[in-house]
């Protein structure tokens, strides 16, 4: 009996690597510490009622952001481990298999489990406030979306210590990702972790499209929406067309592995290039899914800290929507070397160059907005200004990669790695950091410490250029991606050492950001009012943090930047219409079904990974039971009475 238990444990837990053992111990200690704190301070009920069952879009947004920060730490540690391995030739810091697992998990975590939830967190916190709504269109679905993402991410991450991580690359090309190339469980964790979280992402896209189109405040026409809302709309439209492709592609791969089909195996009549086409038909729009909202963030910040209306509003709208459209016609530039022929390569080269035009338009619009503006440079504006040269370089190298003949030199080299990170860090991460600093007071009612924020800013930016500029040169010197070691005579060591130093500078920057948050919480200083940046859009018209119902009275919108125009009219002494009388506010009730259903999805996915039908079937039945329970739940909403609204408003606005 004891021997069977030992045999099972050796298969169930990942063993043999000191780094993984350290992770297992630290995770176990963290779980014990969390359980102890919640029990000691008697916070289990509070956790359940205030957070786990909440359908409040603001709390859901905060949970997205917390999850993304945790994933940034995990993915960042993976990156630093890779940089250490490549710092010197023939280094044996990481075994080849472990290195492959780390670069696979790094890519998946940073794109799907860090950038996406950070984006969705800002969607949740800002969009309803910007359009004058009291919640999203489907609050229950919003909660379900978060928990599906969260448990999908947990299913993927648990593979690091249980069963084994995937090691076929972050896009899992066959035949390496097929059962013949990856017989272990890592690839199944990959499939089901992404599938479960992907369902949540698709639901979020649907939710916010409906929210934006149907729940805007009276008077807010489409062409009066803030630019961030336009960027969210364009991103969500891309989501609803791109993510079903990912879902189908991974399901076909699962059928190959689980049922012995041959969709992507040559020896069975399948075609691995079909997988590569399908995965990039999702993969390249995914890049624009995460960067379009960053463009909206920069637009809001540039306008706010230039004290000017955004230059070229209509051209910005056209640029965002055209990028969303053209993003579906560029996927084959990822494999110009496949041998499709000159005509196919020429078409995708032209579409790739074409999509650079609306991107360039936005850069000029931001610069013209700043021109002759009354500029100030708090932390959000610093991130915005730093983004522009970084993204211009990334865009220029992207155009170089779009030249099909030149791509035969660049393909799968570190030149591509540098370009990809230039765009994803310099565009997406810098953008979401800017948004976090900008809207942090609206979320929590206090600003982050500016001094520590500037230290983090400079370490991030200097570290970024030190890390990735050498990689362009390494790519031109012939260093290919996905290598875990190299010989002394290649001449790559000096630049790899520099790149590694840059990676650790970014790691120090992250520590400064954690210090900044902790310092700001400890020395809590509540903002004087809800408009701490002298903002232009509706979210700054209400107290910080926003009350449960957001707006006591739904605003009447008259123009773009309506809150800014209202403040100008007040300053000019113009009379304002008498406020409408308060009315009871309709709100959704909290529900535990999304959390429980997502747990059932986790159980279903875990059972399918291990081929344990005794676990998968109850998990599936649990999902069905939750759907039925929701279908027959009629008590789903309530009204906040007028006297409670009056008390809340008096308490919040009395602090001004």
Closest to 58 in 3D by CA, of 503, 649, 548: 548
pLDDT above 50: residue 447? yes
Does the pLDDT of residue 621 top 70, yes or no? yes
Structural contact between residues 130 and 551, judged by C-beta atoms closer than 8 angstroms = no
Phi–psi pair at 544, nearest 5 degrees: -120, 130
Tell me, what's the pLDDT at 655?
A: 46
HSE, CB side, 13 Å, CA atoms: give it for residue 225. Answer: 26
* 656 pLDDT above the threshold of 70: no
- Given a contact cutoff of 8 angstroms between Cβ atoms, the answer to whether 133 and 550 are in contact is yes
Q: Quick: pLDDT tens for 498-517.
A: 999 999 999 999 999 999 99
Domain coordinates of the chain in residue numbers?
1-42, 43-543+559-572+585-654
Distance CA 101, CA 119 (A): 26
Q: Quote the CA–CA distance of 485 and 653 in Å, as a whole number.
A: 61
User: Residue 550 carries which DSSP code?
Assistant: S
CA distance 169 to 536: 44
Write out the DSSP string of 591-632.
Answer: -SHHHHHHHHHHHHHHHHHTT-HHHHHHHHHHHHHHHHHHHT
- Please enumerate in sequence order all residues whose Cβ is within 8 A of that of 455, keeping only pairs 6 or more positions apart, or say none: 509, 512
Sequence-separated (6 or more) residues with CB below 8 Å from residue 92: none
pLDDT digit string (tens) for 92-120? 899 999 999 999 999 999 999 999 999 99
Cα dihedral sign, 130-131-133-138:
negative
Give the per-residue pLDDT at 654: 64
- Residue 647 in this model has a pLDDT that exceeds 80: yes
Asked whether 589 and 55 are in contact (CB, 8 A), the reply is yes
Q: Which residues pair with 13 in a beta bridge?
A: 162
Extract the tokens encoding 481: 């991606």
For the stretch 169-200, pLDDT in tens is 999 999 999 999 999 999 999 999 999 999 99
Run of H or E including 193 = helix 186-214
Structure pTM?
0.97
| Range 43-543+559-572+585-654 has CATH code 2.40.110.10 | no
- Residue 598 CA to residue 109 CA, distance in Å, equals 19
pLDDT tens for each residue of 519-540: 999 988 888 778 989 999 999 9
DSSP state of 273: H
Phi, psi of 550, deg, nearest 5: 70, -70
């Amino acid at each position: 009996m004891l021997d069977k238990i030992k045999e099972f444990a050796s298969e169930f837990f990942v063993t043999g690597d000191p780094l993984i053992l350290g992770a297992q111990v630290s995770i176990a200690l963290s779980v014990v510490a969390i359980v102890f704190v919640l029990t000691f301070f008697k916070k289990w009920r509070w956790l359940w009622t205030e957070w786990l069952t909440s359908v409040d879009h603001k709390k859901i947004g905060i949970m997205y952001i917390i999850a993304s920060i945790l994933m940034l730490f995990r993915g960042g540690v993976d990156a630093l481990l890779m940089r250490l391995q490549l710092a010197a030739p023939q280094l044996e810091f990481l075994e080849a298999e472990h290195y492959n697992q780390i670069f696979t998990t790094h890519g998946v975590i940073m794109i799907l489990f860090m950038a996406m939830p950070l984006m969705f967190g800002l969607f949740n916190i800002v969009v309803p406030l910007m359009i004058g709504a009291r919640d999203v269109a489907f609050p229950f679905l919003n909660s379900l979306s978060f928990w599906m993402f969260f448990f999908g991410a947990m299913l993927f991450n648990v593979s690091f210590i249980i069963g084994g991580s995937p090691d076929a690359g972050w896009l899992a090309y066959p035949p390496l990702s097929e059962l013949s190339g990856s017989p272990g469980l890592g690839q199944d964790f990959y499939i089901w972790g992404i599938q479960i979280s992907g369902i949540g992402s698709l639901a979020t896209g649907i939710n916010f499209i409906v929210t934006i189109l149907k729940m805007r405040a009276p008077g807010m026409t489409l062409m009066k929406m803030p630019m961030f809302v336009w960027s969210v709309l364009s991103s969500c439209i891309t989501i609803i067309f791109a993510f079903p492709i990912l879902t189908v592609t991974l399901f076909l791969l699962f059928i190959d592995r689980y049922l012995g089909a041959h969709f992507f195996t040559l020896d069975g009549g399948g075609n691995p290039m079909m997988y590569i086409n399908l995965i990039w038909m999702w993969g390249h729009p995914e890049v624009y899914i995460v960067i379009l909202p960053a463009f909206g963030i920069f637009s809001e910040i540039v306008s706010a800290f230039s004290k000017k209306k955004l230059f070229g509003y209509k051209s910005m709208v056209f640029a965002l929507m055209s990028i969303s459209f053209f993003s579906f016609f560029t996927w084959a530039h990822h494999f110009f070397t496949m041998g499709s022929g000159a005509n196919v390569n020429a078409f995708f080269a032209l579409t790739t160059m074409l999509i650079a035009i609306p991107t360039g338009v936005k850069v000029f619009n931001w610069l013209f907005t700043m021109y002759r503006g009354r500029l100030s440079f708090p932390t959000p504006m610093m991130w915005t200004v730093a983004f522009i040269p970084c993204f211009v370089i990334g865009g220029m190298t992207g155009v170089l990669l779009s030249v099909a003949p030149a791509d035969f030199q660049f393909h799968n080299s570190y030149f591509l790695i540098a370009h990809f990170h230039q765009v994803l860090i310099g565009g997406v991460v810098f953008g979401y950091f800017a948004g976090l600093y900008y809207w942090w007071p609206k979320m929590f009612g206090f600003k982050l410490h500016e001094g520590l924020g500037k230290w983090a800013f400079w370490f991030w930016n200097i570290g970024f250029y030190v890390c990735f500029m050498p990689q362009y040169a390494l790519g031109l010197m012939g260093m290919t991606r996905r290598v875990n070691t190299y010989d002394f005579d290649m001449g790559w060591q000096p630049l790899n050492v520099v790149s590694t130093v840059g990676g650790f500078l970014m790691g120090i920057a992250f520590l400064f950001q954690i210090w900044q948050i902790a310092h700001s919480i400890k020395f809590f200083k509540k903002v004087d009012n809800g408009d701490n940046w002298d903002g232009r859009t509706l979210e700054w018209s209400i107290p910080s943090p926003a009350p449960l119902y957001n707006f006591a009275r739904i605003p009447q919108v008259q123009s773009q930047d309506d809150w800014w125009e209202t403040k100008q009219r007040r300053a000019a002494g113009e009379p304002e219409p008498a406020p409408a009388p308060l009315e009871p506010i309709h709100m959704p009730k909290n529900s535990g079904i999304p959390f429980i259903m997502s747990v059932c999805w986790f159980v279903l996915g875990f059972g399918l990974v291990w081929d344990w039908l005794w676990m998968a079937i109850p998990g599936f039945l649990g999902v069905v039971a939750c759907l039925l329970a929701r279908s027959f739940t009629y008590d789903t909403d309530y009204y906040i009475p007028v006297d409670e609204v009056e008390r809340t408003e008096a308490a919040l606005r009395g602090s001004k």
